[in-house]
């Protein structure tokens, strides 16, 4: 429950970032270099208080985090939705048709999953370059295989069941059998996997941005904020990195908590 409340709060902040932020951190006209690297709670010469401090360009960290959340959540959710759609189609096709189609799809999935996601994403980004669209492509590429495998395994279980046989005997169209009968029964495990994967995607995006390979500085996600603050860490100006990191951590934990609860709710074996 706490996880859900936290997650909703984070989502609201992300969506409403432009409305609730004290400043637009990327409107250079609103920034004042005189305010740079202020500690949390410190007042600027013109009397404004920066509750979470400012970065090297005098940007309000609180506003930066709100905008960063927006980008991180957007990238995480968008890549998950696309990956889910692609994985769903391939998983269902593999399970429904079987034979060489199944072998081919699953062999690709196996090979891909035998490499760490971060390595694949890193190489892809090295090839594609920076940008929101590119990181979404990279995240979709590393994620679709999980969904394909999850969908296939639950679809295979469903396929054995009598009602699918019955639907086939009734000569219902193949597409109808797949989408009206197989799909709904594969959804519960998929929802859980997808929720966890949103958290993974956000963490991965942050990691890649931290390494300087994810998003450009014009579209700063939480990872980029952390990366930007890293150079000031050793001189004791911890807040530039620390608070965006905390926001990232809370987001990932909230999603994982909700995923755990979903797992319990959707798992009929645990429902008593």
Binding site for other proteins (CB under 8 A): 111, 114-116, 118-119, 122-124, 126-127, 129, 199, 203, 206-207, 210-213, 223, 226, 230, 233-234, 236, 238, 241-242, 245, 248-249, 252-253, 256
Q: How far is the CB of 170 from other proteins (least distance, A)?
A: 40
The residue among 179 and 230 lying less far from other proteins, judged by its C-beta, is: 230
- Rounded Cα gap, residues 71 and 241, in angstroms: 17
* Residue (of 124, 128, 132, 121) closest to 76 by Cα position: 132
The residue among 155 and 254 lying less far from other proteins, judged by its C-beta, is: 254
Residue 115 CB neighbour total at 10 angstroms: 11
Pairing of strands 49-50, 42-43: antiparallel
Q: How far is the CB of 23 from other proteins (least distance, A)?
A: 25
Tokens 């690297």 -> residue: 37
Q: How far is the CB of 189 from other proteins (least distance, A)?
A: 18
The residue among 82 and 242 lying less far from other proteins, judged by its C-beta, is: 242
Q: How far is the CB of 235 from other proteins (least distance, A)?
A: 8
Residue 18 CB neighbour total at 10 angstroms: 11
Contacts of 136 (CB under 8 A, 6+ apart): 75, 78, 79, 82
Phi-psi region of 212 (alpha: psi -120 to 50; beta: other; left: phi over 0): left
The residue among 12 and 126 lying less far from other proteins, judged by its C-beta, is: 126
Q: How far is the CB of 19 from other proteins (least distance, A)?
A: 28
Phi-psi region of 99 (alpha: psi -120 to 50; beta: other; left: phi over 0): left
Q: How far is CA 8 from the centre of its chain?
A: 15
The residue among 121 and 186 lying less far from other proteins, judged by its C-beta, is: 121
Q: How far is the CB of 228 from other proteins (least distance, A)?
A: 12
The residue among 114 and 160 lying less far from other proteins, judged by its C-beta, is: 114
């Amino acid at each position: 429950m706490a996880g859900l409340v936290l997650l909703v709060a984070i989502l609201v902040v992300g969506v409403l970032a432009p409305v609730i932020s004290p400043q637009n951190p990327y409107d250079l006209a609103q920034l004042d270099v005189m305010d740079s690297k202020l500690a949390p709670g410190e007042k600027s010469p013109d009397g404004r208080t920066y509750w979470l401090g400012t970065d090297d360009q005098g940007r309000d960290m609180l506003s930066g985090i709100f905008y960063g959340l927006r980008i991180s959540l957007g990238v995480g959710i968008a890549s998950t939705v696309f990956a889910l759609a692609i994985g769903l189609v391939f998983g269902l096709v593999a399970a429904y048709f079987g034979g060489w189609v199944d072998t081919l799809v699953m062999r690709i999935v196996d090979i891909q999953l035998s490499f760490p996601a971060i390595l694949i994403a890193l190489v892809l980004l090295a090839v594609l370059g920076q940008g929101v669209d590119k990181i979404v492509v990279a995240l979709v590429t590393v994620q679709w295989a999980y969904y394909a495998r999850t969908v296939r395994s639950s679809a295979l279980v469903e396929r054995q069941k009598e009602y699918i046989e019955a639907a086939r005997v009734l000569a219902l169209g193949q597409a109808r059998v797949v989408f009206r009968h197989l799909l709904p029964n594969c959804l519960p495990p998929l929802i859980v996997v997808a929720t966890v994967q949103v958290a993974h995607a956000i963490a991965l995006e942050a990691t890649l941005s931290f390494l300087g390979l994810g998003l450009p500085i014009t579209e700063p996600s939480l990872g980029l904020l952390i990366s930007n603050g890293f150079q000031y860490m050793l001189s004791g100006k911890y807040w530039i990195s620390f608070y965006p990191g905390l926001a990232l951590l809370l987001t990932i934990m909230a999603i994982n908590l909700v995923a755990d609860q979903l797992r319990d709710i959707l798992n009929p074996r645990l429902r008593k």
